[in-house]
Amino acid sequence: MRRAIFPGSFDPPTNGHLDIIRRSSPLFDEIVIAVLNNPDKQPLFSVDERCDLIREILPSAECDDCSMVVESFSGLTADFARSKNASAIIRGIRAVGDYEYELRMALMNRRLQPEIETVFLTAAEEYSFVSSTLMKQVFELGGRVDGLVPDSVIEKMRERISNQ
C-alpha cells in the first residue's frame, strides 16, 4: 500500500491544490490530505471548515485507483506522516521561488523521518501564481478569483467576508 500525505494550510483550498492532488493520485494508493491546525495563525476558515471545504471539492480530483481522506493534524508534518505509515510527503512547486523553502522543509523532514520521501510535483502553468494568501487578499479587496478557486469555496469566502 503506497500511502502519501499532502500537508498544507489550505486556507482556502485552491484549484492549484486540486491540480496537485489530481497529479499525485496515479502515484499512490491512498492520499491523506492533511490540514494543519496552527493555533498561532488567525485563519479565514477554522480547521474543521477547511476539512469540509476540501471534502466538498475532492470528488473533482478523485481517481478510481487512489482513495483519498481528509484529516487535520497538529505538530510536525513528519510525525503525522509517520503516524499514518505514509512513505511520502507530497508538495507542489509552482515556480523557482518555492524551491528554496520547499527544499529546506524536505531536508528537515527527512532528518526527522529518514524513511519518508518528499515528492515534489509541479503545478499546471495556469496555477503557477496561485496561493491561498494571494487568493484571500484579492478576494477581500473585491477582485475576481473564479477559475483559480473552486466555486463552492468562493461562495463560502463570500459568506465569511460579508459576516466579518
DSSP string, 30-52: EEEEEEE--TTS--SS-HHHHHH
Q: How far apart are CA 57 and CA 80, in angstroms?
A: 23
Q: Is 7 in the site for ligand PNS (CB under 6 A)?
A: yes
- The answer to whether 162 is a known catalytic residue is no
Q: Is 105 in the site for ligand PNS (CB under 6 A)?
A: yes
Q: How far apart are CA 123 and CA 88, in angstroms?
A: 18
Candidates 27, 58, 93, 108; binder of ligand PNS (CB under 6 A) is 108
Q: Is 24 in the site for ligand PNS (CB under 6 A)?
A: no
- The answer to whether 84 is a known catalytic residue is no
* Closer by beta carbon to ligand PNS, 81 or else 154: 81
Q: Is 36 in the site for ligand PNS (CB under 6 A)?
A: yes
* Closer by beta carbon to ligand PNS, 7 or else 150: 7
Residue whose C-beta lies closest to ligand PNS? 8
Q: Buried b / exposed e across 1-16, counting CB within 10 Å, b at 16+?
A: eebbbbbbbbbbbbbb
Tell me if 25 sits within 8 A of 61, measured CB to CB. Answer: yes
Q: How far apart are CA 115 and CA 66, in angstroms?
A: 22
Among 3, 94, 136, 156, the active-site one is 94
Tell me if 149 sits within 8 A of 156, measured CB to CB. Answer: no
Geometric angle at alpha carbon 5, from 91 and 28, rounded to 5°: 95
Q: Is 109 in the site for ligand PNS (CB under 6 A)?
A: yes
Q: Among 3-11, 20-28, 58-66, 115-123, which window interacts with ligand PNS (CB under 6 A)?
A: 3-11
Contact residues: ligand PNS, CB under 6 A: 7-9, 36, 76-78, 105, 108-109
Please list the active-site residues: 17, 41, 94, 132
